[in-house]
Amino acid sequence: MTEPWWKSAVVYQIYPRSFADTDGDGVGDLEGIRHRLDHLAWLGVDALWLSPVYRSPMADFGYDISDFCAIDPLFGSLDDFDHLLADAHALGIKLILDWVPNHTSDQHPWFVDSRSARDAPKRDWYVWRDRLPGGKPPNNWVASFAPEPTWTHDPTTDQSYLHLFLPEQPDLNWGNPEVEAAMHDVLRFWLDRGVDGFRADVVHCIGKDATLPDDPPEVAGLPHSVLHDEPLTHDLLRRIRTLLDSYPGERMMVGEVYLLDIDRMATYYGDGDELNLSFNFLPVHSPWDAATWRDHLARTEQALAHRGGWPTWVLSNHDVPRHRTRYSGWPNEPADAPRTEARARAAAVLLLTARGTPFLYQGEELGLLDADVPPDRVVDPGGRDGCRAPIPWSADERHGWGAPGDAEPWLPFPPEAETRNVATERADPSSILHLYRRLLAVRRGSEALRLGDEALLDAPAPVIAFRRTAGDDVCTVLINTSGETHEVSLDGPHQVVVSSDAVPAEPGAYTGVVGPDQALVLRPA
Ligand code: GLC
């Protein structure tokens, strides 16, 4: 039996505002992505995930949607979208869209109707409740971004509406079958256009018990969105899966199930009848440390294996500081010190060889750090501007963003953009960009790395060591998270297939040691 494409794919996340701009307004657009598909094809990724490009007032930069079936003019048009999809498919690249089922914008016509009167036709499409005595919010849930209640009182009808995120992002009431039907129609609209799947935003939050019980006091300070784990959601996911499976071509959904407990997260795979994939966010909140990662590898296998679930791996995305930034800051070490790049290179080896579907975030292939965003340029209510800085395409002053006289990009560039840009790194075979490309090529050519079993190996404490096996194809991976050299003896001679720190002129024999911050992919000689 052949495995579905999304098991062996490498998915590349595009944050469209910051990828590439063609109309000179300082904000990226769909045509920008289309013009840069050659970079992605050259790199060798299999699929793209676009963060939201729908019509939006941009209170949360597109995660507040006022029309699920229209492209925001800032990004282009539906024609531009169709053109991008066709060109990506022509290159053999799949395309998945961000689908935001938990909430809409407060400007969405559904909410405009809902808030207009208690007996409005769409009143029940959102979650409205009376305040408690003394004007207190209906429950103790805490919103994301700011430690505020998840409720905003609306004087028009003297009731409060629920929003797990900003007040501009009212939560939909999926308990109402009309909402479920309308959101299924949104999926169909894009599936009919030919998209290959969806990344489902905070999808664990969609099912809500109508009693909306308080969070327990011991966790009551945490945002409710990281706690919400409601059995009703599983029924909704099964019906979404049925819809996806009714289309030809293995359409898929990867869920953003932001629960920092892998066993709970794993339940969202159902019995193979809910999400196809679910993000595993523990590594995003972990230090670069071998013991921690060995634990993640082992626990991920344990949590998913009995369900037949397939793991995912992610180091960076548009919501957290980039991993090169996170892995810096050791005492007296500036963020741009050589070791932070060495760690980012070793982490790339881990991300692209561990068993599961890897998700890259635009710019990590360049080894980007977060931008330093001065207070007068901060725009995100969630403090995430640094990792959303524009991608530098070239060494010149504008780094590929418009012509002299055009608008400045909406955020400052990341540090080192004069050298850390696509053109400069493409011209340098020793760059981290070429390392990513080599890893992707080796992965593509190896059944063991794409789909094989994984077994942890004994190694010195600071070294993560594992073996991937599919029939005769065997790859051994050694990742040294320390600044010292370590010996790792293997059974029999091995050949280096990829080294994180070298230009592989001639792949050499494995010498029995793994250098400081080095990662190696090996094959039996
Ligand atoms: C998800 C998105 C994040 C967004 C939030 C609300 O966590 O990744 O960017 O702000 O949902 O939609």
Whether residue 474 is predicted with pLDDT greater than 80 in this model: the reply is yes
Closest CA to 64 of 172, 146, 158: 172
CATH class of 452-524: mainly beta
Check pocket membership of 100 for ligand 1, CB cut-off 6 A: yes
CATH architecture for residues 109-162: Alpha-Beta Complex (3.90)
Amino acid 306: pLDDT: 76
- What is the number of residues in the chain? 525
Check pocket membership of 99 for ligand 1, CB cut-off 6 A: no
Q: What is the mean pLDDT of residues 405-417?
A: 96
Residues 437, 44 contacting (CB under 8 angstroms): yes
DSSP 509: B
Amino acid 191: pLDDT: 98
Pick the catalytic residue from 64, 98, 106, 201.
201
Residue ranges of the domains in the chain? 5-103+176-440, 109-162, 452-524
Whether residue 337 is predicted with pLDDT greater than 90 in this model: the reply is no
Whether residue 107 is predicted with pLDDT greater than 80 in this model: the reply is yes
Superfamily of domain 5-103+176-440: Glycosidases (3.20.20.80)
Ramachandran bin of 40, using left for φ above 0, alpha for ψ from -120 to 50, beta for the remaining angles: alpha
| Integer Cα distance of 478 and 521 in angstroms | 7
Amino acid 504: pLDDT: 60
| Integer Cα distance of 295 and 302 in angstroms | 10
Amino acid 448: pLDDT: 98
Amino acid 22: pLDDT: 97
Residues 341-372 have pLDDT tens digits of 999 999 999 999 999 999 999 999 999 999 99
H or E segment at 463? Answer: strand 463-470
pLDDT > 70: what percent of the chain?
Answer: 97
Pick the catalytic residue from 80, 256, 364, 365.
256
Q: Which atom of ligand 1 is nearest to the CA of 318?
A: 9
- If one residue of 53, 60, 317 were mutated to test the ligand 1 pocket, choosing by the most ligand atoms within 8 A of its CB, it would be 60
Place of tokens 């939560």: 171
Residues 521, 496 contacting (CB under 8 angstroms): yes
Check pocket membership of 279 for ligand 1, CB cut-off 6 A: no
Amino acid 276: pLDDT: 98
Residues 188-229 have pLDDT tens digits of 999 999 999 999 999 999 999 999 999 999 998 899 999 999
Whether residue 330 is predicted with pLDDT greater than 60 in this model: the reply is no
How high is the mean pLDDT of the chain?
A: 96
Radius of gyration of the chain from its Cα atoms, rounded to whole angstroms: 23
Any long-range contacts for 143-151 (C-beta under 8 Å, 24+ apart)?
A: 143/223, 143/224, 144/223, 144/225, 144/226, 144/382, 145/381, 145/382, 145/383, 146/381, 147/221, 150/224
Residues 279-288 have pLDDT tens digits of 999 999 999 9
Amino acid 336: pLDDT: 65
Whether residue 332 is predicted with pLDDT greater than 70 in this model: the reply is no
Mind giving me the DSSP string for 472-499? Answer: TEEEEEEEE-SSS-EE---SS-EEEEEE
Q: Which amino acid is at 46?
A: D
Q: Which residue is closest in CA terms to ligand 1's atom 7? A: 202
Q: What is each CA distance from 442 to 18, 39, 118, 439, in whole angstroms?
A: 29, 18, 60, 5
pLDDT > 90: what percent of the chain?
Answer: 94
Whether residue 307 is predicted with pLDDT greater than 90 in this model: the reply is no
Residues 57, 452 contacting (CB under 8 angstroms): no
Q: Is residue 201 among the annotated active site residues?
A: yes
Residues 173-185 have pLDDT tens digits of 999 999 999 999 9
Confidence of residue 339 (pLDDT cuts 50, 70, 90): confident
Whether residue 331 is predicted with pLDDT greater than 60 in this model: the reply is no
Whether residue 158 is predicted with pLDDT greater than 70 in this model: the reply is yes
H or E segment at 128? Answer: strand 128-129
Q: What is the mean pLDDT of residues 373-385?
A: 97
Q: What is the mean pLDDT of residues 510-518?
A: 95
Q: Give the range among 252-266, 285-299, 495-509 with minimum mean pLDDT.
A: 495-509
Confidence of residue 445 (pLDDT cuts 50, 70, 90): very high
Closest CA to 32 of 488, 399, 473, 333: 399
Check pocket membership of 63 for ligand 1, CB cut-off 6 A: yes
Place of tokens 């990513």: 436
Mind giving me the DSSP string for 412-457? Answer: PPPTTTTTSSHHHHHT-TTSHHHHHHHHHHHHHT-HHHHH-EEEE-
Residues 504, 438 contacting (CB under 8 angstroms): yes
Residues 23-79 have pLDDT tens digits of 999 999 999 999 999 999 999 999 999 999 999 999 999 999 999 999 999 999 999
| Integer Cα distance of 223 and 143 in angstroms | 5
Whether residue 479 is predicted with pLDDT greater than 90 in this model: the reply is yes
Check pocket membership of 171 for ligand 1, CB cut-off 6 A: no
Q: Which residue is closest in CA terms to ligand 1's atom 4? A: 63
> Does the global pTM surpass 0.95?
yes
Closest CA to 285 of 255, 261, 309: 261
Confidence of residue 506 (pLDDT cuts 50, 70, 90): low
What's the 287 CA to ligand 1 centre distance in angstroms?
A: 23
Closest CA to 151 of 175, 132, 133, 134: 132
- If one residue of 165, 228, 257 were mutated to test the ligand 1 pocket, choosing by the most ligand atoms within 8 A of its CB, it would be 165
CA 510 to chain CA centroid, Å, is 34
